[in-house]
Amino acid sequence: MATLGVAMLSLEEAAARAHDVGVPSRLASLNVFRTLLRRPKAARAVADLLMELLSGGALEHRLRELVIMRIGWSTGSDYELTQHWTIAREVFGLGAEDLLAIRDWEGSPQFSEPERAVLTATDETLATGAVSSTTAKRCVRWIGEDALIELVLSIGAWQTISQLARQPRDPS
């Protein structure tokens, strides 16, 4: 199996490289890190960012997991969806109905105003590469400035993971 069309390292080689650069061993077995660890220093930087964002600072865990699931759905990343389905449900207690509603969140009554602001920011970033000033103001109102910074970092980080984890597509 490969991610990005690049052969993954064996579990043993990934574990050795992860150990050498300080990437947590639990990440080394993930397919995306078995690819990323071909570039160990980059893998370490990505791991540090992801672990910082997952540890929870200003952005609530529920909001971050909704963002990740939306990115997975919007980008067609089965890897992202399956990895974070389990994390969102088992670690952070999100219901299946929330995670399924993410596909058409705008038409769903499932989400609060803060959640809608964060999901709007996610969709805007995926579509245009940036959060609009209107949406940024909504996010600050509902989640605060520090959480907005984490939100933008989270969108970028998991969009990158999504890109790394997907198989290349031929233009048609």
pLDDT digits (tens, 9 = 90+) for 52-100: 998 878 999 999 999 999 999 999 988 889 889 988 898 888 899 999 9
Measured CA to CA, the distance from residue 106 to residue 134 in angstroms comes to: 17
Mean pLDDT of 132-161: 97
Residues 81, 150, single domain; the answer is: yes
Residues 65, 148, single domain; the answer is: yes
Residues 9, 77, single domain; the answer is: no
Q: What is the pLDDT of residue 168?
A: 61
Work out how many domains the chain is built from and give that number: 2
Residues 80, 160, single domain; the answer is: yes
**Tokens 């052969």 found at:** 7
Residues 77, 161, single domain; the answer is: yes
Residues 89, 152, single domain; the answer is: yes
Full residue range of the structural domain in which residue 17 is found: 2-54
Q: What is the pLDDT of residue 112?
A: 96
Residues 35, 109, single domain; the answer is: no
Q: What is the pLDDT of residue 67?
A: 96
Residues 151, 72, single domain; the answer is: yes
pLDDT mean across residues, the chain:
92
* 93-105 pLDDT tens trace: 889 999 999 999 9
Q: Which residues, at least 6 apart from 6, have a Cβ–Cβ distance to it below 8 Å? A: 35, 38
Residue 15 lies in a domain: yes
Residue 124 lies in a domain: yes
Measured CA to CA, the distance from residue 94 to residue 99 in angstroms comes to: 7
pTM, full prediction: 0.91
Residues 49, 67, single domain; the answer is: no
Residues 40, 65, single domain; the answer is: no
